[in-house]
Structure 1
Amino acid sequence: MAPPGLVALLALSASLVNARLQDGRPHGNAPPIPVLPVVEVLDSRTEAFQFSGSSIPPYNTVYYFDQLIDHDDASKGTFSQRYWHTWEFYQPGGPIILMTPGEANAAPYFGYLTNTSITGLIAQQEHGATIVLEHRFYGLSNPYPDLTPESLKYHTIQQAIDDLEYFANNVALPMPNGTGVTPDKAPWILVGGSYSGALTSWTMVNKPGLFWAGYASSAVVEAITDFWTYFEPIRQNMPVNCSADVAAVIAYVDETFSGENTTAIDELKATFGLSDVTHLDDAAGALRNNLWDWQSLQTNSGPGTQFTKFCDALEVKDGEVAGEEGWGLENALASWGGYWRDTYYSLLCGDANAEDCFGSYNASQEIYTNTDIDNTWRSWFWIVCNEVGYYQDGPPLGVDIKPIVTRLVNVETNYDARQCQLMYQDTYASPPLPDVERTNTVYKGWDVSIERLFFANGLRDPWREATMNAEGVEIQSTDRQPIVLSDGFHCSDLSAARGASDASIGALHKQALESMHNWLAEFTSSA
């Protein structure tokens, strides 16, 4: 049985293939931004100002735009790019607010049209219309009927940026005066989170003046190949007893798997139900799944989450909770192993054996060979392997911390790059490394400095160290480019509900809405 899927997210056998959530979605690399549950979508239409007698279609109405396949060669034709739209808050002169969920099928994301999202809050305040646009090569917005490398050569950051420009300049929106609100006539605001937050920054750098303002949530603006710091916000913010015990187990795993005591190696693999796993880096890397569950806190940070259950399994013994130092290696190893064997393994793997579930060396696995469209992870890892990296591995040996993930998975051994080679076997003769230097040079990465761009980040976001709030970033927050850090997780601030329940996110929302109001007052139509 091949691994049933790939980082709203987004991990092939550790960081690329096999990490999965309970619902079968993979995670570990850039996750799609959170879906706003339908039950959260308020009937804000009672407050809508409708300046004509036209009725507003349901939020989930799908529209289609003829997008260029190749912005460098229009003769290649067009494809149908899906989008969703409402003008319920719109008044003449108001902004057009465009967001893309980025690396995901966009159909579930129509909640971002409404005032349950920061997008809708801006629209409500400024009397704007909202749009959700599906990114090329995700969902059903595909130039070609497969995801082969020959098709994916048109799947680049630059083509995605050019899509946004061509859409804004040419779409006839299904609303009153829908052809008269192009960016020269009305202010457009670009919104995104995670990868699409970075895309917001990259677009405003690459297409200055196209979007009047931008809101970038948890924007991973800096492309990083060896992204071991993904796990640092987790280590810094998880319960200290849990991090102490996890670090103790990982140190033992690395020592044992790096040694020659085959008896100890076999016993350790069996402790976690991983006896069938052939390669020790796969076995050690599989344990990152428990840390990737931290990302699920972006939508639910209360009790009962998978990450909370994991730490409880390690730290609660006979009704007593361990102190800050944890229970120590012996108890932590037995408890973590028992949790894996009895509970967690089936959530990740179902009935699959451990090698099929966590092995990353078999080129015939379906995860590497499936080229069907609407395969989020194949599309996403084309960008990962070519342009952004974000390999979530262990810290280098010279870093003086107690790691919570194995150092056996690292860039030097090409663990993730090798999987890129397997996924796109017709493209790479050897493990590739993404050209992150080019990405950061062209789109400015941490060096972005542009007018009317609001960065919203979370202290507890595992992606924090690729955002403008990463340690060592020299660009400072200003009124023209605010860089605001809440106490939230990944893209928490995209949800209006989170702003109501978390004071730090509420304060961020207030500042963002004030910034948008002031910036929009500066717009003058050039038409």
Structure 2
Amino acid sequence: MAWAHVFALDCLLFQCLLGLTDGGRNFQMLKRKVLQFQEVQAMKEFYLRRMMHRGEAAVDWNPPIESYFRQPLDHFNRQNNATYNQRYWINEEYWKRPQGPIFLYIGGESSLSKFSVQAGEHVELAQSYGALLVALEHRYYGSSINMDGLTNEGIRFLSSQQALADLASFHRFLSEKYSLTRNNTWICFGGSYPGSLSAWFRLKFPHLVFAAVASSAPVRAKLDFMGYNKVVAESLSDPVVGGSPKCLDAVTESFRTVDQMLKAGNTSQLEKDFCSCEGLQGSEDYTEFISNLADIFMGTVQYNGETSDRDIRRVCDTMTRTSLGSSYRRLMAINQEYLQSMSQTCVQNSYQKTLEELRNTSLSLVGVGERQWIFQTCTEFGYYQTCEDESCPFSRLLTLRSELDLCLQLFGISAKSVKEAVLFTNEYYGADRPKASRVLFVNGDIDPWHALSVLHNQSHSELAIYINGTAHCANMGSSKPLDPPALKRAKEEIAYYVGEWLKAAKKND
């Protein structure tokens, strides 16, 4: 088979699909770019591996199975007969039938693709332990959504509890499809929000899944997540990843200057200096403008090194380059670099246009589900990254109130309801003291989300790995020769625990 030709077609298809995604705020644009980069890297790794082994294995190789199965829209009300079709993938390539384990990759707030069962740490582990690889796309994301799913009426069945029930239903479906028994040990994997789902699936359904790896999992819901930008500030000053105290000071000073200019009403200069697509029309646009600038730094820290053109070292190099002039002018340079990297000519700072985009209920079957995720923050998690604390290097305009207003304007959800939802989520799952067993929490100290995860061993079987110098979900990628030593050791430790779990499962049988 002409593997290079197939790779080119898949790359082209994926890039075309991404082109259908609407523009958004800076952080969302960066997240899309990271997802695109990761997908292309997964393609390259997969096809390189196939070409290396085509002489010995290509004849027997079967491509992943992509299919759908019907799920109840509401698992908790059997009087509601509504359903939706949930997408899944299966890769049988490494499975040692009939008693090999099942490795479940859990989807989250974006679409999945066939590479969810073809590349990554969990795929390498499946190869080592002879596992069947399966991946389940999250309800309401990607193609796993009904046509009316994004309407205010239709979206109400989107929740982590429903998603966990989907996983339980999928467990039964797959067990019947492959005649699985207790001898087939299930281990689930997930990163970020799916990392939380991975831990919670083991917590709530211990009879179905034997163990879980939860990477960068923010299991503690938090209304006012001030700690996010505290970690961003620490990372910008951390020399291990190319930061420095001078860098942090320059960032803080530059945002102070911008705040002063906004307060003085000098918006025309800011619009010109930072390439705003339109004029700033009042306080809501000011917040949107500041948020877009802060997103560049927040996104760079969260996804440090995830793309070839953006990391903390490069950002801090620009922010400490005195030849560019004042810290304000260096911030202008950062904004220009960002626009160039995103192939944009200006920044959309209109709050009303953001609302229009987020009120759009037409479906996009690829990329990040922004409207859906905001709904989940309003009804379950909070996670609002504010800047009202002195440790935050950005603007004090990034307030909790501005975030909560979005819930009201998009979904009619009051601030009081959001607060109650966050409290319930922590009561329901146990926050960062979930009291589960055979769960491995993996975090990097550069990742701002580690502040809401489990960082220390809770018991002999609820364990934590904390990786120095790594960012969000860094352990989940395929192994690379240039992986830092701390990341290599963490991957070895994860593989060890997976092996120990499989041994323990055999003893239990």
Indicate whether the TM-score tops 0.5: yes
- The 5 Å alignment of 1:74-473 reads 74=78, 75-91=80-96, 92-107=98-113, 110-114=114-118, 116-171=119-174, 178-182=177-181, 184-238=182-236, 239-240=243-244, 241-257=246-262, 259=263, 261-262=264-265, 264=266, 266-268=268-270, 270-274=272-276, 276-278=279-281, 279=283, 280-291=286-297, 292-297=299-304, 299-300=306-307, 304-305=309-310, 308-318=313-323, 331-340=326-335, 342-345=336-339, 350=344, 357-361=348-352, 365-374=356-365, 376-396=369-389, 399=390, 401=391, 403-411=392-400, 414-424=401-411, 427-428=412-413, 433-434=418-419, 435-469=421-455
The CA deviation at 1:78 is 3.0
SS where residue 105 of structure 1 aligns?
coil
Letter in structure 2 aligned against 1:433:
V
Q: Are 1:192 and 1:198, in contact at CA under 8 Å, matched by a contact in 2?
A: yes
Q: Gaps spanning 5+ residues in structure 2: where?
A: 1-20, 237-242
1:501 aligns with 2:483: yes
Q: Are 1:94 and 1:187, in contact at CA under 8 Å, matched by a contact in 2?
A: yes
After superposition, the Cα gap between the structure-2 partners of 1:188 and 1:525, relative to the gap in structure 1 and judged at 3 Å, is farther
2:67 to 58, 63, 81: 63
State the match for 1:12 in structure 2.
none
Distance in 2 of aligned mates of 1:467 and 1:48: 44
Distance in 2 of aligned mates of 1:393 and 1:428: 19
Q: Deviations over 1:296-334 (max 9, x none)?
A: 32524x6x326554433322344xxxxxxxx9xx61112
Q: State TM-score, norm by structure 1.
A: 0.79
The CA deviation at 1:476 is 2.9
Distance in 1 of aligned mates of 2:415 and 2:458: 42
Structure 1 residues 134-143 or 306-315, which shifts more? Answer: 306-315
Distance in 2 of aligned mates of 1:135 and 1:33: 21
State the match for 1:43 in structure 2.
50
Aligned length: 467
SS where residue 43 of structure 1 aligns?
helix
After superposition, the Cα gap between the structure-2 partners of 1:525 and 1:230, relative to the gap in structure 1 and judged at 3 Å, is same
2:463 to 464, 482, 495: 482
State the match for 2:239 in structure 1.
none
State the match for 2:17 in structure 1.
none
1:21 aligns with 2:29: yes
Distance in 1 of aligned mates of 2:37 and 2:169: 24
Q: Are 1:147 and 1:373, in contact at CA under 8 Å, matched by a contact in 2?
A: no
Structure 1 residues 375-384 or 309-318, which shifts more? Answer: 309-318
Q: Are 1:230 and 1:465, in contact at CA under 8 Å, matched by a contact in 2?
A: yes
Q: Are 1:453 and 1:482, in contact at CA under 8 Å, matched by a contact in 2?
A: yes
Structure 1 residues 280-289 or 435-444, which shifts more? Answer: 280-289
Answer 1 or 2: which has greater helix percent.
2
After superposition, the Cα gap between the structure-2 partners of 1:76 and 1:44, relative to the gap in structure 1 and judged at 3 Å, is farther
Note the aligned Cα RMSD (angstroms). 3.3
SS where residue 372 of structure 1 aligns?
coil
Q: Gaps spanning 5+ residues in structure 1: where?
A: 7-16, 319-326, 470-474
After superposition, the Cα gap between the structure-2 partners of 1:429 and 1:43, relative to the gap in structure 1 and judged at 3 Å, is same
State the match for 2:10 in structure 1.
none
SS where residue 492 of structure 2 aligns?
helix
